[in-house]
Amino acid sequence: MSNNLHHQTILDIQDISNTYGGKPLLQNVRFSLLSGEILCLLGPSGSGKTTLLRLIAGLEQDYSGKIIFDGRDIDPIPSHKRGFGMMFQEYALFPHKNVVENISFGLEMQNMPKTQRELQIDKMLELVGLTGFGNRKIDELSGGERQRVALARSLAPEPRLLLLDEPLGSLDRTLRERLTIEIRTILKQLGVTAIFVTHDQNEAFGVADKIAILQDGVLQQFASPEHLYRFPLNRKVARFLGFTNLLEGRLDRETGYFHSTVNDPGALPLFGPLGPVPRPDRVFTLPILLIRPEGARLLAKEEKNIAETLQLRGIVSNRRYQGSSYQIQLECQTGNQPLHLHFDLPLEPPPPPVGAPIELFIERSALVLLDGK
Amino acid sequence: MRLKKQHISWLLFSLPLVFLLVFYCYPLVKIILFSFSPGGADGLNRLSKLFSTPTYLHILWFTVWQAALSTIITLLLALPGAYVFAKFRFFGKDFLQALMTVPFVLPTVVTAAAFRALLGSNGLVNSWLMTSFDLSRPPIDIEQTVVFFLIAHVFYNYTMVLRIVASFWASLDPGLVTAARMLGASPWTAFRKITLPLLLPALGSAALLVFIFCFTSFGVVLILGGPGYATIEVEIYRQAVQLFNLPMAAALSLIQIGFNFILMWLHARLSQKSKVSFFSDAPATTIKPVKNWAEKLVLAGNIVFMLTLLILPLAALLISSVTGEHGFTLSYYKALLSGESSSLFYVEPIVSVKNSIGFALTAMVLALILGLSAATFLASEDKKRTNLWDAIIMLPLATSAVTLGFGYIITLNAPPLNLRDTLAIVPIAHTLVAFPFVVRCVLPGLRQIPAHLREAASLLGASPYRVWRLITFPLIKKAILVAAIFAFSISMGEFGASAFLTRPHTPTMPVAIFRFLNQPGDMNFGQAMAMSCILMLVTCSSFWIIGRFSYPPTNPKPATGPDEQ
């Protein structure tokens, strides 16, 4: 439900660098965010994503570069005057205040009159589905309820920007999945611009309009979830997203064909022309071919002799039933060392058992070329 | 018949129980009976007379008033210090932390002597001011005023408040203040609305403890306050020892006992509710180096204050003990060894050192035996079911030493228990004060040993005794050592009960210091200083040893080295 009224840049991060404990952490991070968008900062722990969030919040101050919000450099504004909201990993709910008093805190700081405050609190409680919980003490709430109170508290003062620091980190898997959807619905309903920090890619895909992948303080890729998954920019991003089928090779720019160098060229048991693969327009110093695991199925008999289909042969070296699919490991006995590739195959027809030969049909759309550096 | 496990632990527990019954409950009951019956007059009359006589009402009021004032001053001074300790990492913090245990372990008599040495009419500050500005009279005249012992009370309790509040503060989630800031609160508003309310349990608990200590203050008031001032404790002592008005002393003791129980009960309730503990060192995850000049100023101010408060009196004590009319002298120490001051003593003063050490060793052994028995019982049962017994064991802590001493002289001087003239009576009183501490030291360690360990050893063929010797004992060895030193030091410094119980020819060190301080003349004053120094050395070094054992270098030092300042 993206609102067309917005679509103007609200946050502009310009070449942010900083050090942590004497060592450089963030390195020339730059991106911008449109009003009403939800951005996920995604990266492993230690990648600098929480630091970046705290810099934007004004909780950390030593950095170079500029943070422009709504056309203004916000560096001189102390954090309590920025009008940003923040939701913390452990929620940081005030233990000496009940649910209503927690939500009311930010409104009191704005000196909002009592009657207006009460209206806003009721609205927030309803929004997060906690109507009637107002007088509960914090230690009487479950993990999911606390999370909702924290969300309501940070949303109540209608922040210009909401920062969420791994807000689902301490909850169990199923609850997290449910709350991810809820948070997105609520944020979109209010049209809040938000930055959401997480290390969990599923969470990021579920909640974000844009994803920024941070690794070792470097912004590796900034894209929509769909684009990110479809076209990971480099090996680091691909690995972080969980892709393992990465083949080094050489791109023939004349034909647009990709030649694997993992094994003897041509000895790779891929039948049929590999390319042209997407993105031949990009120049990669060290090209890598990614085969996405869901882009394969068992080859039907009648397809075997069609020259244009892309085929892969090998031995099933491992086979794992995953409920909705099979994960198989394909071993190609070529060259000096065996090559292992992983694929998710549909339940029907079931793949052959471990040790049996297998022939796979590969979708052309499952192939992506990326930078191996 | 085979003894079951429960029977054995009950058998063990009967030891401390019987001891408590005979040496705690019996004297206390006797005090109550005594204040109501003997001497012809009706006890209730005496109590009502006590409340209607302005003198006694004044003593009561004064006791409450000085304790409240001491508490407020201490809290106000300690709060900034607690902030500094909870939030910052700085050079010399470990040293300050070690230094801060000193006042807490210093015997009251030594503290009093130290402040006489520093701020008394003949004290260092006065003599320095008199020589520098050529004055004829000492400019600081606070001897025998409230100010004098209020300062000593602050010295005593400052570090305790700082410790309790700082560790509680450091354990507060820093995210709460950050959250408040992000919701629009300025730093001051965040402190007022979030930090301060959350600190209240720790502040309340610390305040109550300070109040209790000042309410029962004896040695400091007796020595520094002079004849013009009396807390209930001091008045009990005067009535009993100087005026021989035993019924009146008993009536006062009864009031004191009542007040103490109520205060200790309040404190127990409060600390249970808020989980504030003097013994816990919360992991301080939020500690950071100082950044801007405002923080540096606050830090420097607090450190200077701490050093002044903690070091000056002790330094004054040391200097006074070796300074005579003509500069440096060791004559006071020499005099302690000779019998010259025999008008005060039937024996050479140095004998009191021997007495103190003998008493302390005896009390230590007794306290260990009783404390270990009690702790073994308490650890063997479910925690909830032993709560009551645990509280009973702690009762001696809720009773002032002066009341105990008084109770002993009215009960243990006649059959069936005539111990008045034996050497045993002092160590017994000290044991009673010390053994609850032994329980507190050992019990957490005992409870931490998983039952599986003992069960495994037993299934591998160890007898119960060997299980204790080979499994339990090695695991709590350190705690036992700490407990032993604790008991020893408590006995060394104990004054309240000893003031009643020591005989003229068997003084302990604190009693000897008190006698010296009460006599005029430089020689007596100097010997008091010298004796105080010896006692300070003994107690501080034992607590230094405790520190080595109980706090191994686990101080969490963040790994980020480069930004250390």
Out of A264-273, B28-37, B103-112, B375-384, the most confident range is B103-112
| C-beta atoms of A84 and B184 within 8 A | no
> Distance (Å, rounded) from C-alpha B79 to C-alpha B83?
6
CB contact under 8 A, B560 and A20: yes
Separation CA B324–CA B311 (nearest Å): 21
Euclidean distance between CA atoms B26 and B414, whole angstroms: 13
A9-233 folds as Rossmann fold (3.40.50)
Which of B559 and A334 is assigned the larger pLDDT?
A334
Nearest to B169, CA basis, from B304, B274, B27, B51: B274
Choose from A109, A151, A170 for mutation: most chain B CBs within 10 A. A109
Chain A residues closer than 8 Å to B285 by CB: none
Q: Which residue of A has its CA nearest to B200?
A: A96
Q: Across all residues in chain B, what is the average pLDDT?
A: 81
Q: Which of A275-284, B7-16, B89-98, B418-427 has the lowest mean pLDDT?
A: A275-284
| A106 chain-B contacts, CB cut-off 8 A | 183-184
What is the percent of chain A with per-residue pLDDT over 70, rounded to a whole number? 86
Q: Which of B95-109, B226-240, B356-370 has the highest mean pLDDT?
A: B356-370
**Residue B364: Cβ within 10 Å count:** 26
pLDDT of residue B518: 83
- What pLDDT score was predicted for residue A152? 94
Query: For residue B156, what pLDDT band results from cuts at 50, 70 and 90?
Result: confident
- Minimal-distance CA residue of chain B relative to A156: B183
Query: Does the pLDDT at position A135 exceed 90?
Result: yes
Looking at residue B561, what is its pLDDT?
Answer: 33
**Minimum mean pLDDT range among B99-113, B274-288, B362-376:** B274-288
Residue B553's pLDDT band, with cuts at 50, 70 and 90, is very low
Q: Which of B182, B285, B560 to mutate to test the interface with A (most CBs of A within 10 A)?
A: B182
For the question of an ipTM over 0.85, the answer is: no
CATH node for A237-371? 2.40.50.140
What's this model's pTM, rounded to 2 decimal places?
0.76
**Least trusted range by pLDDT, from B128-132, B145-149, B167-171, B284-288:** B284-288
Name the average pLDDT for chain A. 85
DSSP assignment of A228-261: HHHS--BHHHHHHTT---EEEEEEETTTTEEEE-
Least confident of A155-164, B264-273, B542-551: B542-551
Given the structure tokens 């070796």, which residue do they identify?
Answer: B322
Determine whether B459 is exposed, middle or buried from the number of CB atoms within 10 Å of its CB (0-12, 13-18, 19+).
exposed
Rounded Cα distance, A323 and A306, in Å: 32
Class of domain B1-44+335-552: mainly alpha
Q: Pick B184's closest partner by Cβ from A22, A95, A157.
A: A157
Instruction: Give the pLDDT score at B189.
Output: 93
Residue A62 has pLDDT above 60, yes or no: yes
Report chain B residues whose CB lies below 8 A from the CB of A85. Answer: 182-183
Can you tell me the mean pLDDT for B84-90? 86
Residue type, B559: A
Shortest Cα–Cα distance, A176 to chain B (Å): 22
d(Cα B231, Cα B222) in Å, to the nearest integer?
Answer: 9
Whether residue B277 has pLDDT greater than 80: no
Give pLDDT tens digits for B303-339: 899 888 888 998 998 888 888 777 787 888 887 777 6
Q: Which residues of A touch B182 (CB under 8 A)?
A: 57, 59, 79-80, 84-86, 154, 163
CA atoms of B393 and B16, how far apart (whole Å): 8
Give A14 to chain B, closest Cα distance, Å: 23
Residue B517 burial class via C-beta count within 10 angstroms: exposed 0-12, middle 13-18, buried 19 and up: buried
Q: Given a cut of 50, is residue B8 above it in pLDDT?
A: yes
Kindly state the average pLDDT of the residues B345-359: 80
Residue A279 confidence (pLDDT): 55
The mean-pLDDT minimum among A217-231, B9-23, B134-148, B471-485 falls in B134-148
| Predicted pLDDT of residue B40 | 46
Tell me if B434 sits within 8 A of B440, measured CB to CB: no
Query: What is the structure's pLDDT at A117?
Result: 94
User: Which residues lie closer than 8 Å to B101 by C-beta, 6 or more apart?
Assistant: B159, B543, B547
Q: How far are the Cα atoms of A35, A56, A86, A211 from residue A180, in angstroms, in the given order?
A: 20, 23, 16, 15
Helix runs in chain A, H state only: 49-57, 99-109, 114-127, 143-155, 173-190, 201-207, 225-230, 235-240
Give the best residue of B183, B291, B557, B563 to mutate against chain A (max A CB count within 10 A).
B183
The per-residue pLDDT for range A340-369, each reduced to its tens digit, is: 889 999 988 889 999 998 888 888 788 888
The tokens for B155 are: 């010295």
| pLDDT on residue B43 | 55
Residue A3: per-residue pLDDT: 46
pLDDT value at B349 more than 80? no
- Give me the mean pLDDT over the A306-314 stretch: 71
Range ranked top by mean pLDDT from A113-127, B349-363, B392-406, B542-556: A113-127
**SS3 (DSSP) at A84:** strand
- C-beta separation of B517 from B470 below 8 A: no
The yes-or-no verdict on residue A89 having pLDDT over 70 is: yes
For A231-254, write each residue's pLDDT tens digit: 888 888 998 898 988 887 776 666
**Three-state secondary structure of B378-419:** HHHCCHHHHHHHHHHHHHHHHCCHHHHHHHHHHHCEECCEEC
Contact A153 B183 (CB under 8 A): yes
Vertex B433 angle, CA B432 and B437, to 5°: 110
**What are the sequence ranges of the domains in chain A?**
9-233, 237-371
Among chain A, residues having any CB pair with chain B shorter than 8 Å are 20-22, 57, 59, 78-81, 83-86, 88, 90, 92-96, 105-106, 109-110, 153-154, 157, 163
Of A59, A92, A110, the CB nearest to B184: A110
Across the interface, do B181 and A79 touch by the CB < 8 Å criterion?
Answer: yes
> What's A80's DSSP letter?
G
Q: Which residues from B are below 8 Å from A83, CB to CB?
A: 184
Query: Which residues neighbour A241 within 8 Å (Cβ) at sequence distance 6 or greater?
Result: A201, A228, A229, A232
Q: Report helix, strand or coil for A311.
A: strand
> Percent of chain B beyond pLDDT 70?
87
Cβ of B184 within 8 Å of Cβ of A21? The answer is no
Residues of chain A found within 8 Å of residue B198, distances taken between Cβ atoms: 94-96
- Does the pLDDT at position B409 exceed 90? no
**Number of neighbours of residue B316 by Cβ within 10 angstroms:** 23
Q: What is the band of B346 on the pLDDT scale with cuts at 50, 70, 90? A: low
Q: Is the pLDDT of residue A214 over 60?
A: yes
Q: Specify the pLDDT at position B217.
A: 86
Q: Which residue has the higher pLDDT, A193 or B167?
A: A193
Nearest-by-CA chain B residue for A163: B182
| Candidates A20, A21, A85; nearest CB to B182 | A85
Tell me the two tokens of residue A106: 């930010």
Residues in chain A with CB shorter than 8 Å from the CB of B175 are 88, 90, 92
Q: Is residue B398 scored above 60 in pLDDT? A: yes
The Cα–Cα gap between A45 and A50 comes to: 9
Check A80 against B185: CB less than 8 A apart. Answer: yes
Q: What is the pLDDT of residues B89-104, one digit of tens each?
A: 888 888 888 788 788 7
Homologous superfamily of B53-321 in CATH? MetI-like (1.10.3720.10)
Residues of chain B with CATH 1.10.3720.10: 1-44+335-552, 53-321
Query: CA-nearest residue of chain A to B560?
Result: A21
Cross-strand pairs, A103: none
Cβ contacts from A onto B, under 8 A:
71
